[in-house]
Amino acid sequence: MDDFQEWAQEYERVKKLNAPLESLPTQIKRCKDPATRAAVVAPDDKRMLLRVADFVVSVSYSCFDLYRDQDVTEYCTGFIISSDKINKKARILTCDDIVSSEADANSKVFIHWQYMPDSPIEGKLLFVSIHYQIALLEIPVDVHSVMPQLEIPSFGSYPNYGQEVFTLARDKDLFLMARRGTIMRAQQGLMFRSHNILVDYGLPDCGAGGPVVDRSGDVVGMSLHGSGISAILSISTAISCIDMWTNFGRIARPLLEMRFKNVELLDEPSGSRLGGFIVDRVDIDSTAWELGIRRGNVISFNGHCSTPLPEFEDFLLSYGLAHLQGKHRVADFKLKVCDHDEDVKRHINLCVPFSDVSEVGLDRLTAASL
């Protein structure tokens, strides 16, 4: 061995001895996501969120990147909502990103869960709702057989304005991330529908589809994001959709063709005087338009005056459930309509059909009805 080779070997040996400090076992590792450390400080919050985190999964799917002109793998978050011990299957709720318009119709969806020895495992798409921005997946795994001591988190009530909540996410390496913030008393953004409520934290890139958790440790919603805005879908709405699809293969909703805002969120004195929902949008060719309902009107449905919009959405879904049960063919509402500026009140009957806001295949993915 010549002198140069000996020198090179000695150089490599000494180089390894001078490794960066962060690689030493006695050195605290740099935090991968500082926002998570800032969001979860109290020990009680950490313990509470870790119980929910056991059921948070990473979801990967392929889509075509127009800028790169190639297929890429994207990631979002999901969480296990039920487990069937007899049939050895588990269901996972996630967002509709997995079937975006750029997605390959034949692409597969994979679930990454830290407790599955064979992770990732292919998930079966049961249904997707573009209207509610949710997708339901199924995997051939019995959660309790894998981890007998785990208990699926309980579902809470409606998320409320001003409430402090956490959201959880997992990245492609199954690293757990958390955000903490407050539900905003703000109107809905253009990317979201009336039943979504906004929050004041920013989600990580993979955060859509993750659970939203209240201070009691109950799951109260699912995270959504778009154009830099973070929002929540109430878990009660998601579960109502899942139950309806499970029992009837459809998700029925009255075809209102309107969007609303909560009147109590108005930054003016009249907000406390008027009761109902502000019409934020009404389709020109809709039944509501023909009956004279216009943008800016304040309306109540069957006496529902001050109901938060997530709760009102569940009220509409209850009509859809009754329709699927054969109780009525159309939705008949008694409306009180007030002109916001003139304080003129009138009563009308709004009779509308139902629409199916669920899809079971990418060939059926069309713009959902309002």
If one compares 52 and 10, the residue with the highest pLDDT of the two is 52
Answer whether residue 341 shows pLDDT above 80.
Answer: no
100: in domain: yes
Predicted local confidence at residue 170, as pLDDT: 96
Q: What is the CATH number of the domain that holds 333?
A: 2.30.42.10
Predicted local confidence at residue 26, as pLDDT: 45
Answer whether residue 108 shows pLDDT above 50.
Answer: yes
Q: Give the span between the Cα atoms of 83 and 89, in whole angstroms.
A: 6
320: in domain: yes
Predicted local confidence at residue 8, as pLDDT: 66
Question: How far is it between the farthest Cα atoms of the chain?
Answer: 100
Residues 194 and 259: beta-carbon distance below 8 Å = yes
Q: Residue 311 carries which side chain, given as an amino acid letter?
A: E
If one compares 190 and 128, the residue with the highest pLDDT of the two is 128
CB under 8 Å, gap of 24 or more: what pairs does 103-108 form? 103/61, 103/62, 103/63, 103/64, 103/362, 104/62, 104/63, 104/64, 104/71, 105/362, 105/363, 107/61, 107/62, 107/63, 108/61, 108/62
Determine which of 16-25, 162-171, 303-312 has the lowest per-residue pLDDT on average: 16-25
Over residues 316-330, the pLDDT tens digits come to 999 999 999 999 899
Confidence label for 222 from pLDDT (cuts 50, 70 and 90) = very high
Confidence label for 24 from pLDDT (cuts 50, 70 and 90) = very low
If one compares 105 and 218, the residue with the highest pLDDT of the two is 218
Query: Measured between alpha carbons, how far is residue 108 from residues 77, 282, 311 in Å?
Result: 16, 38, 34
229: in domain: no
DSSP per-residue letters across 31-59: PS-HHHHHH--SHHHHHHHHHHHTTEEEE
Predicted local confidence at residue 359, as pLDDT: 82
238: in domain: no
Determine which of 31-35, 152-156, 194-198, 235-239 has the lowest per-residue pLDDT on average: 31-35
Predicted local confidence at residue 23, as pLDDT: 47
28: in domain: no
47: in domain: no
If one compares 149 and 227, the residue with the highest pLDDT of the two is 149
96: in domain: yes
Task: For residues 33-57, give the mean pLDDT.
Answer: 94
Query: Which pTM was predicted?
Result: 0.85
Task: For residues 146-157, give the mean pLDDT.
Answer: 88
Q: Phi/psi of residue 334, each to 5°?
A: -100, 115
Predicted local confidence at residue 20, as pLDDT: 56
pLDDT winner (highest mean) among 14-28, 55-69, 234-248, 346-360? 234-248
Q: Which of 146, 168, 203 is the last residue of a domain?
A: 146
Q: What is the CATH number of the domain that holds 138?
A: 2.40.10.10
Task: For residues 34-49, give the mean pLDDT.
Answer: 93
Q: Give the span between the Cα atoms of 199 and 191, in whole angstroms.
A: 14
Q: Which of 100, 128, 146 is the last residue of a domain?
A: 146
Query: Measured between alpha carbons, how far is residue 33 from residues 40, 49, 95 in Å?
Result: 12, 16, 22
* Spatial strand order in the sheet of 229-234: 176-182, 164-170, 211-213, 219-226, 229-234, 197-199
If one compares 99 and 134, the residue with the highest pLDDT of the two is 134
Number of domains in the chain: 2
Answer whether residue 367 shows pLDDT above 50.
Answer: no
Token readout for 234 is 């109430």
319: in domain: yes
Q: Give the span between the Cα atoms of 357 and 365, in whole angstroms.
A: 10
**Which 3-state string (H, E, C) describes 229-296?**
EEEEEEHHHHHHHHHHHHHHCCCEEECCCEEEEEHHHCCCCHHHHCCCEEEEEECCCCHHHHCCCCCC
Q: Which of 115, 146, 177 is the last residue of a domain?
A: 146
Range of 137's domain?
A: 56-146
Over residues 288-313, the pLDDT tens digits come to 999 999 999 999 998 776 678 899 99
Task: For residues 96-111, give the mean pLDDT.
Answer: 74
Predicted local confidence at residue 368, as pLDDT: 39
If one compares 21 and 356, the residue with the highest pLDDT of the two is 356
Predicted local confidence at residue 19, as pLDDT: 57
Q: Give the span between the Cα atoms of 329 and 336, in whole angstroms.
A: 23
Mean pLDDT of the chain: 85
Confidence label for 366 from pLDDT (cuts 50, 70 and 90) = very low
Confidence label for 99 from pLDDT (cuts 50, 70 and 90) = confident
Could you tell me which residues are beta bridge partners of residue 260? 279
